Amino acid sequence: MNFELTEEHKMIRDAARDFAQTELLPGVIERDENQTFPTEQIKKLGKLGFMGMMVSPKYGGAGMDTVSYVLAMEEISKIDASASVIVSVNNSLVCYGIEQYGSEEQKQKYLTKLATGEFIGAFCLSEPEAGSDATSQKTTALDMGDHYIINGTKNWITNGGRSDVYLVIAQTDRDKGHKGINAFIVEKGMEGFDIGPKEDKLGIRGSDTHTLQFNDVKVPKENRIGEDGFGFKFAMKTLSGGRIGIAAQALGIAAGAYELALKYSKERKAFGTEICNHQAIAFKLADMYTDITAARHLVMKAAWDKDEGNDYDISGAMAKLYASKVAMEHTVEAVQIHGGNGFVKDYHVERLMRDAKITQIYEGTSEIQKIIISRSIIKG
Ligand code: CAA
């Protein structure tokens, strides 16, 4: 067993760290406050290969492995979790979904642009009445022969107002249950496809989250992904990989808060010494460091499983469950270590605490991860 990163992995991690420090840190507080999408930064990330990290160079991607991807996700998320969710959805849901399950024509038409950051993508599964219960899709896609007609509403869609390509999950044949669900590539600007108001969120406020409306949207048959009825499995398989990206995001949020708390505790003095010398603070730091290291091992194991061709449904679910719990708990502790300063925006930890919460909700709540894990261990 080898826990060492390769030189290439270290280079990718360092490049992401440098980018986060020089390009994302300036203005991160203002973008959060004003809900500003990091347009220029995402363009630059695309040029550097971070928007299609795992996509084959044949389609314009960087051809890297999942371990590289989670290393980059951790570094970006330490500084700007809004930017990292944009990166994550584009990489592990949209690019991966099309590269793995799309037709050659779909790859040439869409993936080549998504992989370079020329296009941004969104993944549209959640609905007002179907978030966790993903088989209960109310959005319909009627088969009209050479095209489908899509009607319905999608909620809480990351990159909702900023995307060029939307992967939309919809029910074609209700009698067939999940086997009647399909996945489609819908383009921005298709007639009847409307972008609703932007959500005003607790965290990841620089990312762009919308409700989407589909009113008789005509989608050509060649935009369906996979065979008729493959849509639910497409969503589940794609989300399994997406969860590794969100686990890495949660890890980065926790690690970012920990690094700030450690630095602050070495500078701030109280009762005659730096506060890190008080056990009340030192023990918090020890717990944070231990839990973050454990979360990193789970994230790396899930990424490695995916790279090795092993099953990663369970390792990804465990990584997301644990890393998001660590992110939530330890961003609260990081605020506590900062005292009054932790409660104001300039010190960054209050933002990280707000950002942490979503990692326990999107791409499957913590309860969903527990369903996935428990079903597997009970089945044996
Ligand atoms: N890979 C392949 N197939 C899978 C699968 C997987 N990971 N998980 C389930 N399936 C298959 C099952 O084998 C089954 O197929 P068969 O009938 O042929 O055997 C079929 O799918 C139905 O599976 P279940 O009976 O297990 O389905 P269920 O209704 O009990 O639900 C669930 C399972 C795991 C709870 C699922 O509904 C789920 O993951 N829900 C959460 C959805 C989610 O993550 N939503 C987040 C929205 S996306 C988002 O947040 C993106 C963003 O913008 C950031």
- Which of 167, 209, 236 for mutating ligand 1's site (highest number of atoms within 8 Å of CB)? 236
Q: Give residue-wise pLDDT tens across range 67-110.
A: 999 999 999 999 999 999 999 999 999 999 999 999 999 999 99
Ligand 1 center–CA 72 separation, angstroms: 27
Q: Given pLDDT bands bounded at 50, 70 and 90, which one contains residue 380? A: confident
Ligand 1 center–CA 304 separation, angstroms: 22
Q: Give residue-wise pLDDT tens across range 313-322.
A: 999 999 999 9
Atom index in ligand 1 nearest the CA of residue 135 equals 29
* CA dist 167 → 163, 175, 315, 342 (Å): 10, 23, 25, 39
Question: And the tokens for 241?
Answer: 């990989």
- Residue 320's pLDDT is what? 98
Atom index in ligand 1 nearest the CA of residue 372 equals 34
- By alpha-carbon position, which residue is closest to atom 43 of ligand 1? 364
- Residue 100's pLDDT is what? 98
Count Cβ atoms within 10 A of the Cβ of residue 234 and give its class: 0-12 exposed, 13-18 middle, 19 or more buried.
Answer: buried
Q: Give residue-wise pLDDT tens across range 126-170.
A: 999 888 888 899 999 999 999 999 999 999 999 999 999 999 999
- By alpha-carbon position, which residue is closest to atom 15 of ligand 1? 233
- By alpha-carbon position, which residue is closest to atom 5 of ligand 1? 236
Between 372 and 2, the more confident residue is: 372
Which residue, among 136, 322, 348, has the nearest Cα to 246 in the 3D structure? 322
* Beta carbons within 8 Å of 313's beta carbon, 6+ residues apart: 240, 372, 376
Ligand 1 center–CA 190 separation, angstroms: 28
Ligand 1 center–CA 327 separation, angstroms: 24
- By alpha-carbon position, which residue is closest to atom 3 of ligand 1? 233
- Residue type, position 356, single letter: A
**What are the catalytic residues?**
363
For residue 192, how far is the Cα from the chain centroid? 28
Separation between Cα atoms, residue 269 and residue 281, nearest integer Å = 12
Q: Give residue-wise pLDDT tens across range 268-291.
A: 999 999 999 999 999 999 999 999
Q: Give residue-wise pLDDT tens across range 222-278.
A: 999 999 999 999 999 999 999 999 999 999 999 999 999 999 999 999 999 999 999
Ligand 1 center–CA 236 separation, angstroms: 4
Count Cβ atoms within 10 A of the Cβ of residue 274 and give its class: 0-12 exposed, 13-18 middle, 19 or more buried.
Answer: middle
Place of tokens 């950002």: 355
Separation between Cα atoms, residue 328 and residue 77, nearest integer Å = 14
Tell me the percentage of the chain whose pLDDT exceeds 90: 97
pLDDT reading at 7 higher than 90? yes
- Residue 214's pLDDT is what? 98
- By alpha-carbon position, which residue is closest to atom 14 of ligand 1? 233
Atom index in ligand 1 nearest the CA of residue 232 equals 21
Atom index in ligand 1 nearest the CA of residue 233 equals 3
Ligand 1 center–CA 234 separation, angstroms: 9
Separation between Cα atoms, residue 279 and residue 277, nearest integer Å = 6
Helical pair 231-267 and 66-79, crossing angle rounded to 10 deg: 50
- Which of 233, 373, 376 for mutating ligand 1's site (highest number of atoms within 8 Å of CB)? 233
Q: Given pLDDT bands bounded at 50, 70 and 90, which one contains residue 1? A: confident
Ligand 1: list residues with CB < 6 Å.
89, 123, 125-126, 131-132, 134-135, 157-158, 178, 232-233, 236-237, 239-240, 313, 362-364, 368, 371-372
